[in-house]
Amino acid sequence: MMLKDIKTYVVGNPPPHYGGRYFVFVKLITNQNVEGIGEAYCLPFHPSVVVKMIEDVFDRYLRGKDPHNIETMWRRVYSAGFTQHSDLALMGVLSALEMACWDIVGKEANQPVYNLLGGRVHERLRSYTYIYARPGDKTDVYQDPDLSAQRAAEYLAQGFNALKFDPVGPYSAFDGRQLSLSALDLSERFARQLREAVGSKADLLFGTHGQMTAAGAIRLARRLEPYDPLWFEEPVPPDAPEEMARVARGTRIPIAAGERLATKYDFARLLQAGSAAILQMNLGRVGGILEGKKIAGMAEVHHVQIAPHLYCGPVVGAANIQLAACSPNFLILEGIERWDGFHAEILKKPIRWSEGFVIPPSEPGLGIELNEEVALRNPYTDTALHLEMAANPIV
């Protein structure tokens, strides 16, 4: 078996854009016409450029090669152009291609990927969602704790037992910073009202995006501690795990981090510094499924858990499910609400969600198939990136 062809899809994610403005999917095809799907997460270039990068890496390192040889392919791409470094753009490209290879390998073996990585440990996977806005909202759910508490109760009624929210405010190219007193007050009010709304029926996950210095994060954490969040997410920028460790030592709330990291080497620094109790690798950026499994194994040695990150499309979501199912130290899985809406429409068969849990598929490979007709009907035509930071300092 060898890889003979590649197709790419840049899919515009219709309003309300939950999961980002667009998704970049790749399909690999073998000489035996077995197909595999992958997805790249959040590269810092326009997706038309990302497509050219994916095609270039495929032509240089994968075309004509056996998709089973994932370790060899990974090392060659990781070392491309004399790099051998955790380059986020290259790792995003590699992640999509590696993911598609696993889909092919699983289909060829007629096994779900989790059975090829040690076997299924978890029969169902606990999931959480952000508290999202709704069409017709009269206020901003991300800045209105009353509306957010009301929405939390609605999610609770749907079956969720864990909810994430981020009231800290914008993130910028100039973070970390000290939050204003008003931002600290609002964050504390969110935590208090959400805890009152859900009681002990749901965990609260306090999300941030590296907005603070370590000192500023500790100030906020001490206000949040009475409301017992399950985690405090990426409180400082991802480039200094030692500073993240300062926050971890300064609060009783578990620290979660990792969505902006790539490869086992980045995550080794987190573990060595004692920066996080929960690792949030995104399989569309970290280096793929096998790299995620290696990171999960490293974390297991340190008694650290994993919570695969998802703010992209359902192909990364499907890969996350495969990793979570076979990882003993899995904690919880991020989803986009109940994996419905466009995230279901873009697949021929939606991801199965029931009463707060995802049910791992028994189908071979990643257990999903891309609905290419839907993908082609929704091209991305804008110029904005998947996610963007504020260009100026936040006062």
343 a catalytic residue:
no
Tokens read off for 236: 């400082």
Element of type H or E holding 11:
strand 3-12
Spatial separation of the C-alpha atoms in residues 169 and 395, rounded to whole Å? 11
3-class SS at 330?
A: strand
Spatial separation of the C-alpha atoms in residues 224 and 214, rounded to whole Å? 15
Spatial separation of the C-alpha atoms in residues 171 and 163, rounded to whole Å? 21
Annotated catalytic residue, options 46, 68, 122, 309: 309
Tokens read off for 47: 């997706």
What angle, rounded to 10 degrees, do the helices at 214-224 and 241-249 form? 30
Spatial separation of the C-alpha atoms in residues 190 and 204, rounded to whole Å? 10
Burial class of residue 134, CB neighbours in 10 A (0-12, 13-18, 19+): exposed
β-sheet bridge partners, residue 165: 206
The dihedrals phi and psi of 312, each to the nearest 5 degrees, come to -160, -145
Annotated catalytic residue, options 17, 85, 122, 209: 209
Give the angle subtended at the CA of 313 by the CAs of 233 and 31, to the nearest 5°. Answer: 130
386 a catalytic residue:
no
For the chain, give the longest Cα–Cα distance.
62
Among 270, 297, 386, 280, which residue's Cα sits nearest to residue 333?
A: 280
* DSSP letter for each residue of 155-224: HHHHT--EEEE--S---BTT--BPPPHHHHHHHHHHHHHHHHHHTTSSEEEEE--S-B-HHHHHHHHHHH
Write out the catalytic residue numbers: 209, 309
